[in-house]
Amino acid sequence: MAASTTEEKNQNHSKVVCVTGANGFIGSWLVHSLLNKGYTIHATIFPGTDASHLTTTTTNPSGGVKIFELDIQNTNDIHNAIKGCEGVFHVASPCTLETPKDPNSELLVPALKGTLYVIEAAAKYKVKRVVLTSSISALVPNPSWSNSVPVDENSWTDLDYCRSREKWYPISKTQAEKEAWKKAEESGVDLVTILPSTCLGPLLQPSLNASCAVLKQLLEGSKDTQEYHWLGVVHVKDVANAQVLLYETPSASGRYLCTNGIYQFKDFAQVVSKLYPEFPVHRFEEETQPGLVDCKNAATKLLDLGLKFAPIEDAIRDTVESLQTKGFLDKKERPNLANTRPGSEAWQPGL
């Protein structure tokens, strides 16, 4: 096994790929995974942001990282980063923990322009494939989806519905992915998209990201139902592995939902409460996502490619430990109660 791993790294050593948004939560883990497989990476980061962790979180990489500080809306900068690459992982997309004051300039335009410029550069330099990191926010909310069928890759977020409720992030992700498909078809670019659910796990980057903030706020007593932003949870390591898998699998095509099951946020909150009884986790009595159909194996397309998902309990524990280590979440004394820790049985949606 060790021999084949070494051989794989040697084969990939000359392969150069570009990762946009490389120092974010998902981007950092993607860089980590690619380095461990021997790839050389052109890593784009927003000017002035910290990228030191990109070269200190991997074990004996055969490849290397070249940092490109750029504005994703600058087409010349993007071309410079992608030139010489055989593949592109487009992860960069604006995401804010706060309600944007100017949705167009803060979210909508950067997400769309950046994506289109990446596709243009990929076409110019004839890259092997572009793997675009979209989001479940490009799947839901979709009020017209049947209440008897689990959400899958055929669903698209209802933009008018989001506009009426000023939900700008789903609009930005949906518009960017839709236009990416159009641009890729026009320019002959081989495009695959991955749509992760709420992504949890250890934070490699120094800052708090939006998806891990969802768990942090829940542990601190938030009663937000995540009505517009929820399908389930996925471990960030699984997302990174899935991105590489989609790049390296020639037969991969289309959209790929990436989640360890679909279930209500109230069910997730119940699991978190059982794991961490010392925190004031709110127990939701009513459906948090009315009409959402549970599905254990929702990511069928990725499962069929051989991806294995970590249990959601692992994703929760890894996130909490990381949040506490980095000082984003206070540690609390556990209550002296018997049987506060769930057993070894695998958690099932709806239980």
Active site residues: 173
Cα separations (Å) of 68 from 26, 62, 172, 302?
Answer: 17, 20, 24, 31
User: Would residue 254 be called left, alpha or beta, if left means φ above 0 and alpha means ψ between -120 and 50 degrees?
Assistant: left
CB-CB contact of 197 with 349 (8 Å)? no
Task: Write the DSSP symbol of residue 206.
Answer: S
Residue 313, number of CB atoms within 10 A of its CB: 17
Q: How far apart are CA 102 and CA 227, in angstroms?
A: 23
Q: How far apart are CA 65 and CA 38, in angstroms?
A: 11
Q: Is 30 exposed, middle or buried (0-12, 13-18, 19+ CB in 10 A)?
A: buried
CB-CB contact of 138 with 153 (8 Å)? no
What is the distance of C-alpha 13 from the center of its chain? Answer: 26
Contacts of 77 (CB under 8 A, 6+ apart): 44, 68, 70, 71
